[in-house]
Structure 1
Amino acid sequence: MQPQLVVAEISKQYGSFLALAPVSFGLNAGEIALLSGPNGSGKTTLLSCLSGLIRPSTGSVSVAGYDSYHAEVEFRRRLAFVPDVPRFYVELTAWEHLRFIAMAHNVIRDFDARAENILRKLDLWEARDLFPHHYSRGMRLKLGLALALIRPFDVLLLDEPTSALDQQGIQYLLEELHRASNQGASILVSTHDPALFGDVESRRLLIRQGVFEAL
């Protein structure tokens, strides 16, 4: 079976500095992988390359057979990425962000009920009409997760998703990871949170000084 996420010899170099040595791996449908490593080891660089946020120096990434640069529109439609510091449109409220993403992915049907459920679970319902720049760091991270969860995806990339979450937010995230996995999504989570390793059935991946290995 062809993996749903295929990473082939991805690397990133800045001048003479090798931030990420060539990496190759795949994730099957329904598989969750947890990526760990010290600060500065290359976790965020790897996820940024996989998501298309930065262009790798070598290699390729594909989702369900769609290459990140040769089939960019379909690739991005099938992949969701929540960085450790999500960025938002300054002109849109939290609710407007959710509606915009739902419309962009053609999942506007039953939007109000789905969006309300997500925001209530993340304790953002009462703040839905605020602009994200009025949110705390934890609230902004929750909104980033909400924007991923309101839309369909085949692959989900999360960079330190529990770094600013309260216990309620962490519990909801774990429930959603299980749900998405059971529905066939491939999930890669970069984390320093050791609790996740006990709560989520997953592969273990490690990166040190830009060098990647599977445990």
Structure 2
Amino acid sequence: MAVLGKAHGSHERLRATGAHEHAREDDDQTGGAADDARHGSGHYNSDASSQGLHVEPGWRTDLAISIARLTLGYGDHIVVAGFSLEVRPGEAVALRGPNGAGKSTLLRCVAGLHVPREGTVTVAGSPVDERAAGFRRAVVAMLDDVAWYPSLTVREHVDLVQMLNQPLADSWWDPPDLLELLALDTVADDSPVRLSSGQRQRLTLAMAFARPSRVLLLDEPERHLDTAGRQIVIDLLRTYLDRNGAALIATHDPDLAEACRAVEVTASKRPREAG
């Protein structure tokens, strides 16, 4: 069971029982829904094989993300310099900092979508490679706006994700449960193009959590959400971590950051542990 406090209104750190409190601070993914749906179908769990979940041969189960002395930039502009961080299974880390500090670029690098100038990034001990099938099964990234299929309903979008990511563990979320948790059950038969911005954000979250994964990368998941919606994100992350997943999140939401281990990111400077 997760040691997370009350299900509602608690800002105790999101972490699973036995997760290591570890910090070492040297311190546009856009496409069709079907392509997005294929990203991720593993489950980050030291006992994953006993649950019928995919485990890549040789992958570590004690370390989800390792970032060492990372420098990122665009052209002549350095965005992040000398950033180091480790995220372990059962742990959520929130990247804090002003706009332009490099939080989104950092997430894109971990997702394999941005090549670093210096330093290394590994997931489960293996180099980041967005082209590798194992990496794509293990990592789910919610970074940019999703391109919807206007001919598919809300329900069919979530169903499609799981159809493309078989087999699933028995304990993973069912699409109807996710739709209810995210208050989308009443619009399940509508097209996403008819939804409000907040409902579309909830659908994007439903699709992210529908994919079994070992590592979850979220860029401002609180965007367009009201207070109730932001609490739902925390509750979903709580369950995800209890299943021994790991999450790296860029956020401006103080409640979400307080529920995680928060790390401040300052452009071209070494990051520091927040709080």
Instruction: Tell me if TM exceeds 0.5.
Output: yes
For the 8 Å contact 1:63–1:154, the answer to whether it is kept is: no
Whole-angstrom CA distance in 2 between matches of 1:107 and 1:150 = 12
Q: Any residues of structure 2 matched to 1:129-148 within 5 Å, and which?
A: 129-148=189-208
For the 8 Å contact 2:113–2:130, the answer to whether it is kept is: no
1:18 aligns with 2:78: yes
**1:165: Cα distance to partner?**
1.1
For the 8 Å contact 1:80–1:148, the answer to whether it is kept is: yes
**1:38: Cα distance to partner?**
0.6
Aligned to 2:141: 81
For the 8 Å contact 2:153–2:191, the answer to whether it is kept is: yes
For the 8 Å contact 2:142–2:217, the answer to whether it is kept is: yes
Whole-angstrom CA distance in 2 between matches of 1:88 and 1:100 = 14
1:205 aligns with 2:263: yes
Q: Any residues of structure 2 matched to 1:94-113 within 5 Å, and which?
A: 94-107=154-167
Classify 1:108/1:186 alpha carbon distance in 2 versus 1 (closer, same or farther; 3 Å): closer
Aligned to 2:110: 50
Whole-angstrom CA distance in 2 between matches of 1:107 and 1:115 = 14
**1:49-89 residue CA offsets vs partner (Å, 9 max, x unmatched):** 11123333444432223322287211121111112x43123
Classify 1:96/1:54 alpha carbon distance in 2 versus 1 (closer, same or farther; 3 Å): farther
TM-score for the superposition, normalised by structure 1 = 0.86
C-alpha RMSD over aligned residues = 2.5
**1:24: Cα distance to partner?**
2.4
Whole-angstrom CA distance in 2 between matches of 1:193 and 1:106 = 33
Greater Cα shift, 63-72 or 177-186: 63-72
* Residue 233 of structure 2, aligned match among 173, 177, 185: 173
Whole-angstrom CA distance in 1 between matches of 2:113 and 2:193 = 22
State how many pairs are aligned.
Answer: 211
Whole-angstrom CA distance in 2 between matches of 1:43 and 1:70 = 19
**1:180: Cα distance to partner?**
1.3
Q: Which has the higher strand share?
A: 1
Percent of residue pairs bearing the same amino acid type:
32
For the 8 Å contact 1:88–1:132, the answer to whether it is kept is: no
For the 8 Å contact 1:62–1:75, the answer to whether it is kept is: no
Which runs of structure 1 show a deviation greater than 4 angstroms over 4 or more consecutive aligned residues? 107-110
Whole-angstrom CA distance in 1 between matches of 2:244 and 2:115 = 27
Tell me which amino acid in the other structure corresponds to 2:271. Answer: E
For the 8 Å contact 1:62–1:68, the answer to whether it is kept is: yes
For the 8 Å contact 2:168–2:212, the answer to whether it is kept is: no
Tell me which amino acid in the other structure corresponds to 1:87. Answer: V
Aligned to 1:162: 222
**1:108: Cα distance to partner?**
6.2
1:191 aligns with 2:251: yes
Flag structure 1 segments of 5+ consecutive residues without an equivalent.
Answer: none
TM-score for the superposition, normalised by structure 2 = 0.69
Whole-angstrom CA distance in 2 between matches of 1:59 and 1:76 = 21
Whole-angstrom CA distance in 1 between matches of 2:131 and 2:179 = 32
For the 8 Å contact 1:12–1:18, the answer to whether it is kept is: yes
For the 8 Å contact 2:104–2:219, the answer to whether it is kept is: yes
Aligned to 2:176: 116
